[in-house]
Structure 1
Amino acid sequence: MSFPCMELNRPELFDFHGVSMTHYFTDSWDKVQNFKARPDDIVIATYAKAGTTWVSQILDLLYFGKSDPGRQTSIPIYERVPFLEIRIRNVPTGAELAEKMTSVPRIIKTHFPVQFVPKSFWEQNCKLIYVARNAKDNVVSYFHFDRMNIVQPEPGDWPSYLQRFQEGKVVFGSWYNHVKGWWEKKQTYGNIHYMFYEDLAEDTAQEIEKICSFLNISPTQEEKDHVIKEVAFDTMKKNKMANYSTIGVMDFKISPFMRKGKVSDWKNHFTVAQNEQFDEVYQKKMANTTLRFRTEI
């Protein structure tokens, strides 16, 4: 599946049910909302650039690494783990790709805030894994992603982007509302495993153990070791089936899709003044939640 890059224009941001979105993620809204989930579906939910592909590769390897090893070397990650809400002209939508999947379980990803998730996932009591990344590293990663991805709005310069991020004027809206919304849902819906990018970076093996426990699967130690090796950042960055280099909408000459995968890279981007201002906004927006993040490990 290739994406016809030249025909695409950078989209405009607009308000959609109170969330900043672009048409690429709202054009198939009705189809997505009516998506028929199955009880064994697994959803990976994240704010954009928070470790989605990392966890997608982990799950795909845990379930299919042994039974279908050719899958990882011949099918790109965006087909193995469809992006539910995406719709780009002349290619199958994420929802259509998910509907056609024959593998069990279907592993599906979304960047939707929790209130946009199709109701059938809750009705079927599906398991959802939410990955959260600290706001400072998340905004840096998102900025570089928007620079190189033609289906994202023009990012402008770093200071203006940082400001818009804090105002929720980026695709998928406010980071603060996103991470808090999913955290609150976890308190009432038992089948959410809420995990942190920083924990995954610090101790990948331990986080994989937690995922296996949540999913009630028992891979052998050998299988887990294989997953850990395959999902190392440098390995994934070189892997054409995981690094998005086969997709036509991203310009790797501007920035690679997998850039650094580090915790604390924000220190290379924020000025002292920007950091102080960001902390001030952060304290206000995160005052009413028990959710806590680490900005370094």
Structure 2
Amino acid sequence: MAADMPADKKTMPPRPDLLDFHGVSMTHYFTDNWEKIQNFQARPDDILIATYPKAGTTWVSYILDLLYFSQKKPDRQTSNPIYERVPFLEIMIPNHPSGTDLADSLDSSPRLIKTHLPIQMIPKSFWEKKCRVVYVARNAKDNAVSFFHFDRMTYVQPEPGDWNSFLQRFMDGKMVFGSWYDHVTGWWERKQSHPKIHYMFFEDMVEDTGREIDKLSSFLGSNSTAAAKEQIRHLVQFDNMKKNDMANYSSFETMDFKISPFMRKGKVGDWKNHFTVTQNEQFDEDYKKKMKNTTLQFRTVV
């Protein structure tokens, strides 16, 4: 069998198992470097991009990268892939630089750094230095579908199983980075008392990308012109990003694009193509219980 495997598959690490880490489901790829993550030294002008996985992380990372650097460093967009320009703080894959090392090596100002950590696990220096945080949330149904297809195609995630068992795990919070419900509400609650968190919704970005770029610019105090923002809006359209090898993760070797692209659809409402009537009813009932104590509200259609 091994002789028939493509060369790149032979070197793929085995898929990790979920482990309980300080009460949150994680895998060793995000906990092996824990001491360095927790002791990471943020700078006051750092911008942290925080999301639950598959909620629009790369989209917002690319928007921020363009807002800050498209005029100052135009060749930046073609010289390095987005995952090097916006390091993933907690990742630690063998034979790759760790997320903390990549972040420490950035010479840009501001540094753009992404994380999927829930609120209680964020390194304390980001709060001490009063860094700005951009949080993106996506409705649970579409988020679950996107996460499922992502887990199918990337080898640093646990085996997803079939859709039905995956959805049950999602509802139970047995996902890498824990419960979607805890994640989005934890960040939402912190935002209420923390003016430096800008809380965005994937659905709003799909509905009117230009409007959301304007809000983001305002939060960041960016002096981008209307023409520059319009150019950014064009570049970050889903189909343009999907074709952009510097943004679409096509060079990231732990992913198998033959199974599913990293950027799959980028739509609101694709959950309707996956949920059965029964699954939808059970999910809605469970969702009401878990979200009954928050003011946070999502749209599942736009």
TM-score (norm 2): 0.96
Task: Check whether the contact 1:5–1:249 (CA below 8 A) recurs between aligned residues.
Answer: no
1:143 aligns with one of 134, 148, 161: 148
- 1:123 to 2:161 alignment: no
> Which secondary structure does the structure 1 equivalent of 2:286 belong to?
helix
- Partner amino acid, structure 2, of 1:48: P
Residue 211 of structure 1 corresponds to 216
2:258 maps to what in 1? 253
- Summarize the Cα distance change of 1:40–1:239 in structure 2 as closer, same or farther, 3 Å threshold: same
How many residue pairs match? The answer is 295
Residue among 169, 174, 182 paired with 1:177: 182
**Which residue identity is paired with 1:220?**
T
Q: 1:9 corresponds to which letter in structure 2? A: P
In the alignment, structure 1 residue 45 sits paired with structure 2 residue 53: no
1:1-297 correspondence to structure 2 within 5 Å: 6-297=11-302
SS in 2 for 1:45: strand
What SS does the aligned partner of 1:155 have?
coil
Distance 1:70 1:175 in 2: 37
Structure 1: runs of 5+ lacking an equivalent: none
| Matching residue's letter, 1:16 | F
Q: 1:163 to 1:251 in 2, by over 3 A?
A: same
Cα distance in 2, alignment partners of residues 64 and 78 from structure 1: 15
List, as ranges, runs of 4+ consecutive aligned residues in structure 1 with deviation greater than 6 Å: none
Cα distance in structure 2, aligned partners of 1:15 and 1:209: 40
Deviation per CA, 1:95-147, whole angstroms, max 9, x where unpaired?
A: 10000100000000000000000000000000000000000000000000000
- CA deviation vs aligned residue, 1:55-86 (integer Å, no higher than 9, x gap): 00000000001111111112100000000000
Give the distance between the partners of 1:4 and 1:273, measured in 2 at CA: 37
C-alpha separation in 2, matches of 1:236 and 1:82: 18
| Aligned-partner Cα distance in 2 for 1:273–1:280 | 11
8 A Cα contact 1:39 1:125, kept in partner: yes
Q: What is the deviation of 1:4?
A: 8.9
Shift of 1:226: 1.0
Displacement of 1:171 after TM fit? 0.4
Kept in 1, the 8 Å contact 2:12–2:254? The answer is no
Q: Secondary structure at the match of 1:184?
A: helix
Preserved CA contact (<8 Å) 1:4 1:248: no
Instruction: Tell me the alpha carbon deviations over residues 208-263 of structure 1, each in whole angstroms, 9 at most, x when there is no partner.
Output: 00000100111011110110011000000000000000010000000000000000
CA offset digits 1:245-294 (Å, max 9, x no partner): 00100000000000000000000000000000000000000000000000
Shift of residue 7, structure 1, vs aligned partner = 3.9
CA distance in 1, matches of 2:180, 2:110: 29
Distance in structure 2 (CA, Å) of the matches to 1:202 and 1:4: 39
Pick which of 252-261 and 7-16 moved more.
Answer: 7-16
Equivalents in 2 of 1:128, 1:6: separation in Å? Answer: 36
Q: Structure 1 counterpart of 2:282, which letter?
A: Q
Partner Cα distance (2:10, 2:52) in 1:
24
Residues 186 and 5 of structure 1, relative CA distance in 2, 3 Å threshold: farther
* Cα distance between partner residues in 2 of 1:211 and 1:122: 20
1:179-219 Cα deviation digits (max 9, x unpaired): 00000111121100001000000000000000001001110
Task: Quote the Cα distance in structure 2 between the aligned partners of 1:236 and 1:69.
Answer: 17
Residues 150, 250 of structure 1: 8 Å contact kept:
yes
- The alpha carbon displacement at 1:5 in A equals 7.3
C-alpha RMSD of the superposition: 1.0
